[in-house]
Structure 1
Amino acid sequence: MMKKEKCESLEQVRENIDQIDQQLIDLIATRQFYVDQAVRFKRTKEDAQSPERVQQVIDKVRQKAFEVGTDPDLVESIYREMIQHFIQRELKEIRP
């Protein structure tokens, strides 16, 4: 987890937010890298959509959000959007 520090100015707050945004983008790109690899092991549309796996991920991230004191509904919303995007990306690879 990133170190949190009290800021002394709005500029300092914004600098920290910009750094976090860069890290989030880097992490999303890394997650996409692994999703792109997973498609090699999926043969059907159902393999890509896998509602059971989606729910497992959602349950896990909601619990982690709760544990660190952030809004589980926000985290779920972000993850559902990201997962849906990745599923659509996979489906393009699986379709003949």
Structure 2
Amino acid sequence: MTDLTPAQNCADMTELRTQIDDLDQMLVELLAIRAGYIDRAVELKSQNGWPARIPARVEEVISNARAKAGQSGLDPDLIEGLWRQLVEWSIAREARVIHER
């Protein structure tokens, strides 16, 4: 992954936009890594006979994201919305494979 220049050290919009583009690429790469963990979860859940959706875990993930958002100075409501979408995508991905097995 690329080293980022701190925002306050960007001299102009071109440099700032380059850093944002690099950060976006890093975020996509991290989401791809996360998807790999979701794929592994499918294998483990299938072995244990577990469903794709485990409501208590969903709420734990959301709660963790909200807490980290607050600690990082981000809007917890925004992060909750993003994470709920991410979690729902993950559950749908798991459910498709689990039902195929």
User: What is residue 35 of structure 1 aligned with on the other side?
Assistant: 38
**TM-score of the superposition, structure 2-length normalised?**
0.85
Q: Within the alignment, does 1:5 sit opposite 2:18 as a pair?
A: no
User: What is residue 52 of structure 2 aligned with on the other side?
Assistant: 48
Q: Distance between the aligned counterparts of 2:15 and 2:51, measured in 1?
A: 45
Query: Gapped runs of 5+ residues in structure 1?
Result: none
Percent of residue pairs bearing the same amino acid type: 37
Per-residue CA distance 1:2-42 (angstroms, 9 max, x = gap): 66331221111101100110000000000000100111111
Change (3 A) 1:69 1:3: farther
Query: Gapped runs of 5+ residues in structure 2?
Result: none
> Hey, which bits of structure 1, 4+ residues long, moved more than 3 A?
none
Q: Distance between the aligned counterparts of 1:4 and 1:54, measured in 2?
A: 33
Superposition RMSD on alpha carbons, in Å?
A: 1.6
Q: Within the alignment, does 1:63 sit opposite 2:67 as a pair?
A: yes
* Higher relative contact order, chain-length normalized (CA < 8 Å, sep 6+): 1
**TM-score of the superposition, structure 1-length normalised?**
0.89
